[in-house]
Structure 1
Amino acid sequence: MAKVVWGMIMSVDGFINDREGSLDKLYASFEPNEEINAAMANTGAVVMGRNSFEMAEDTDAYADNYEFQVPLFILTRHPTSRHPKENDKLTITFVTDGVENAVRQAKAAAGDEEVVILGASTGQQALKAGLVDELQIAIAPILLGTGLRFFEHLDDLEIELEKIKTIETGRQVEIWYKVV
């Protein structure tokens, strides 16, 4: 059965975007390497929220050049009126009945490969529901001071983590944790 990984890049002070909502400053330090590329290649489906999905100026572009050419499950209350372009590998399913159903559908689509969760709210919902097996946290070498926090809205939830591995590139560090 597919493993569920919530992956995000954050600033050293814990923000996943800047005060304008942009990710550009965080991704400026991103340097893919063999381990990161292998993890991406082992992705069988992606679950993300509508806000993350619509960060693309043209959602049809996912079918043409998105890094994950796999089924996408978009968690939303209101699907788009026009269905975005798809291809033989990348399909788009809007899920309106909760993160549990989105993850269930993504696991079925992924088979033995991993399900990657992208986006703060979607990841937080999945973590609260006990659906996340691993956290992948890339730490960008920047202090943003404000923005959206990675682990906002977890209330009094206490989750024990076990470090699995650390990947260092020239400019950033990625830490992988198992949710215990």
Structure 2
Amino acid sequence: MGAVILHSVVSVDGFIADEHDDVGPLHEWYFGGDTPIRPARDERQYDHSGAGSDFRVSSASAGYVREMWASLGAIVLGRSLFDLVNGWEGQPPAGDHLVVVSHRPKPEGWHPEASCHFVGEVPAAIAKARELAGERAVAVNAGQVGGQVLAAGLVDEVAMDVVPVVFGTGKRYFGALEGRQLLADPHVVIQGEGVLHLRFKVRR
């Protein structure tokens, strides 16, 4: 099976959005570059609001983002993010399957063609995502659900796209995670334009 990767764009002080779920400048690097990103599975692109858009990053980031997106088979996210982006209208930027951690069911009539699964508990959600992804990786969106997955010992790697902005307060990358989690030295360090890509393996 592929790795389970906790991932998000994040401010230098560890926030993925402000208190009102506004990402501010965190995603600007996705659209301000000169190199388009074309996942192998689909040329249609969606920004974080679900509207159609082409991702264009710097040449320094392009290879990393393409490889990361191509490696993903499924995305695990919380209900708040699903509702915020309306599940990317069933067409997430990467991965073929969505697994939503929620005790509430999928909205009635919502994109029946999409592979989108609602699972009540974190371990079951990761198991479902790994089943769907097969040999490909599973991405877990950072935040409350991501912190719970890390605390449960189910994360293999932490991937952070660090943007040079300080939020001060807001939604934390690791949610309400308590306790110490040890990571190995970063095995990916790529400096893009307006973003620093880092990946760490989780120490067991």
The residue aligned with 1:6 is: 6
Specify every segment of 5 or more residues in structure 2 that has no aligned partner in the other structure, as ranges. 31-56
Mapped partners of 1:42, 1:174: distance in 2: 16
One-letter amino acid of the structure 2 residue matched with residue 62 of structure 1: E
Q: Is the 8 A contact 1:52 1:119 kept in 2?
A: no
Identity, % of aligned pairs? Answer: 26
Aligned 1:40-119 pairs, distance under 5 A:
40-56=69-85, 58-59=86-87, 61-63=88-90, 65-87=91-113, 90-96=114-120, 98-119=121-142
Question: Residues 66-94 of structure 1, C-alpha deviation per residue, up to 9 Å, x if partnerless?
Answer: 2125111100021234142043xx40000
The residue aligned with 2:23 is: 23
Residue 44 of structure 1: how far off its partner (Å): 0.7
The residue aligned with 1:120 is: 143
Structure 1: which 4+ aligned runs deviate by more than 3 Å?
Answer: none
Mapped partners of 1:66, 1:156: distance in 2: 32
Match 1:137 to one of 153, 160, 165: 160
One-letter amino acid of the structure 2 residue matched with residue 84 of structure 1: W
Specify every segment of 5 or more residues in structure 1 that has no aligned partner in the other structure, as ranges. none
1:44/1:175 CA distance change after superposition, 3 Å = same
Q: Is the 8 A contact 1:43 1:115 kept in 2?
A: yes
- Structure number with greater CO (CA < 8 Å, separation at least 6) is 1
Mapped partners of 2:19, 2:76: distance in 1: 25
Q: Is the 8 A contact 2:72 2:138 kept in 1?
A: yes
What SS does the aligned partner of 2:89 have?
Answer: helix
Q: TM-score, normalised by structure 2?
A: 0.79
Mapped partners of 1:99, 1:4: distance in 2: 13
Q: Is the 8 A contact 2:159 2:198 kept in 1?
A: yes
What SS does the aligned partner of 2:171 have?
Answer: coil
Q: Is the 8 A contact 1:128 1:157 kept in 2?
A: no
Match 1:38 to one of 43, 67, 78: 67
**Alignment partner of 1:166 is 2:189:** yes
Q: Is the 8 A contact 2:145 2:175 kept in 1?
A: no
Q: TM-score, normalised by structure 1?
A: 0.88
Q: Is the 8 A contact 1:124 1:151 kept in 2?
A: yes
1:86/1:166 CA distance change after superposition, 3 Å = farther
Computed over aligned residues only, the root mean square deviation of the Cα atoms, in angstroms, reads: 1.7
